[in-house]
Amino acid sequence: MDAQVMKSTGSVTTWLILLALLAGSGCGKPESTPQPVPRAPGSTGAASGASPASGSSQQVGASVESGSKNRGSFQIGIVPTNPDVQTGVRLSFQEIPSGVAMKPGTIRWFVNGGEIKGQADQLPGTQFHKGNLVRATAEGEMNGEPILLSTPELSVRNALPEAVTVSLNPMAPKTGETVRASAQGRDADGDPVSFRYRWFVGGAEVPGQAGDTFALKGIARGAWIHAEAQSFDGEALGSRMFSPQIQIANSPPYVVRVDYTPSSGSTFEARIVTGDPDGDVVSIRGKSLPEGVTLRGNVLSGTRSAVQERGSLPASVIISDGNGAEFEYDFNFSIAPN
């Protein structure tokens, strides 16, 4: 009998101990969901812990605790992440779970620490400059409690310059002449814009030509040339632009000199020496020659007495390259006596 009582008492004691252990571990109680605590201003990361006092407004990080009623994460950020004065910036809300509501009209923008008036979720580039630091804040509610979200500061980068126009002068150059490129650009930061050039003949780049001028030495008539100008603001290269293509025009022939051939006889000769930049064969025809003087090829000939008796005599010939370029050349005969 005593043995049975002792056995029964031992069993009861064992169950009481197990129940006490289970009660201490929280087993059997309804599950409680911890509420996230907004972090203090200036902190980052995930919110955790107990909920803030009613009516408080604090800065929180970018995520909601995975153990809270509103599982998931949310964040705000400035886009683009490398802004310049041309892009401006806007505030981006991402992955906002249920239970989190952002208040309209509560976005505030700050440039170098000072508040700047923006346009709702956007801040135009006219409101800041290269090198400025930009951030934003926004108010909302999480599970009925006020929160304040803040973005990291972003630095405004250099805006790339732009090439706007490129022109060449002259527009109908000739072999041996020099063509000059003239470019204009703009820079959103107000930086001075210079240009780096490349030159092309027949679509192929000419090595070693990086300046704004290009001498057409040895470039044949009919070749097409153009230039490329790339903008530079002192920090970075910007956009490129091609000039119009221009064609090298025909170059007219020219007269070098008139050589008189000394002669002790009754006749004389005068040779008209010509040249042509394009290498064309030059032809000469008489327009107005003194009586007794004839032209054959580029040689004038006649009797000495016919010229000497009349002193210095005017003559006129037409010089042509056979490709549309010709001109009138005037000169005087003056044959010295024997």
Q: For the chain, percent helix, then strand, then coil, each to nearest 5?
A: 10, 45, 50
pLDDT, greater one: 206 or 11: 206
Q: How far apart are CA 302 and CA 293, in angstroms?
A: 5
The pLDDT value recorded for residue 321 is 94
Q: How far apart are CA 68 and CA 175, in angstroms?
A: 81
The pLDDT value recorded for residue 262 is 65
At 311, the pLDDT band (50, 70, 90 cuts) reads low
At 306, the pLDDT band (50, 70, 90 cuts) reads low
What is the end-to-end Cα distance of the chain in Å, rounded?
175
pLDDT tens digits, 153-166: 999 999 999 999 99
Across all residues in the chain, what is the average pLDDT? Answer: 78
The pLDDT value recorded for residue 338 is 57
- Cα dihedral 39, 45, 50, 54 in deg (nearest 10): 40
pLDDT tens digits, 317-327: 999 999 999 99
**100 in a structural domain:** yes
- Please name the residue that has the structure tokens 């040689």: 299
**110 in a structural domain:** yes
Average pLDDT estimate for 296-317? 79
Position 3 pLDDT exceeds 60: no
Position 184 pLDDT exceeds 90: yes
Query: HSE of 252 in the Cβ direction (CA atoms, 13 Å)?
Result: 11
Q: How far apart are CA 22 and CA 191, in angstroms?
A: 74
The pLDDT value recorded for residue 47 is 30
Question: 89 and 125, same structural domain?
Answer: yes
- For the ranges 22-31, 32-41, 83-92, 326-335, the lowest mean pLDDT is seen at 32-41
The pLDDT value recorded for residue 172 is 95
pLDDT, greater one: 76 or 224: 224
Instruction: Give Cβ neighbours of residue 280 (< 8 Å, ≥ 6 apart).
Output: 253, 321, 322, 323
The pLDDT value recorded for residue 94 is 73
pLDDT tens digits, 8-22: 334 433 333 333 333
The pLDDT value recorded for residue 151 is 92
At 280, the pLDDT band (50, 70, 90 cuts) reads very high
At 261, the pLDDT band (50, 70, 90 cuts) reads confident
Residue where one domain finishes, among candidates 192, 217, 247: 247
Q: Give the CATH number, domain containing residue 267.
A: 2.60.40
Average pLDDT estimate for 208-230? 95
Position 71 pLDDT exceeds 60: no
The pLDDT value recorded for residue 291 is 82
Question: 141 and 218, same structural domain?
Answer: no
What domain range includes position 218?
Answer: 162-247
Average pLDDT estimate for 308-331? 86
Average pLDDT estimate for 295-304? 88
**26 in a structural domain:** no
Residue where one domain finishes, among candidates 107, 125, 155: 155
- Residue by residue, DSSP assigns 171-212 as SS-BTT-EEEEEEEEE-TT----EEEEEEEETTEE-TT--SS
Q: Which of 149, 144, 44 is nearest to 107 (CA)?
A: 149
For the record, the structure tokens of 72 come out as 């998931």
**192 in a structural domain:** yes
pLDDT, greater one: 148 or 173: 173
State the DSSP code for 4: H
Q: Which of 145, 172, 149, 131 is nearest to 63 (CA)?
A: 149
**62 in a structural domain:** yes
Q: Which residues pair with 75 in a beta bridge?
A: 94
pLDDT, greater one: 308 or 35: 308
Average pLDDT estimate for 33-40? 31
- Please name the residue that has the structure tokens 């289970």: 22
Domain count of the fold of the chain: 3
**CA 187 to each of CA 100, 194, 320: distance values in angstroms, whole numbers, following the listed order:** 42, 10, 51
Cα 311 from chain centre:
71
- Residue by residue, DSSP assigns 307-322 as HHTT-SEEEEEEEE-S
Position 223 pLDDT exceeds 90: yes
**48 in a structural domain:** no
Q: DSSP H helical segments within 80-125, as ranges?
A: none
Average pLDDT estimate for 221-248? 97
**107 in a structural domain:** yes
pLDDT tens digits, 108-125: 999 999 999 888 899 999
Q: Which of 136, 132, 75 is nearest to 110 (CA)?
A: 136
**22 in a structural domain:** no
Residue where one domain finishes, among candidates 136, 155, 174: 155
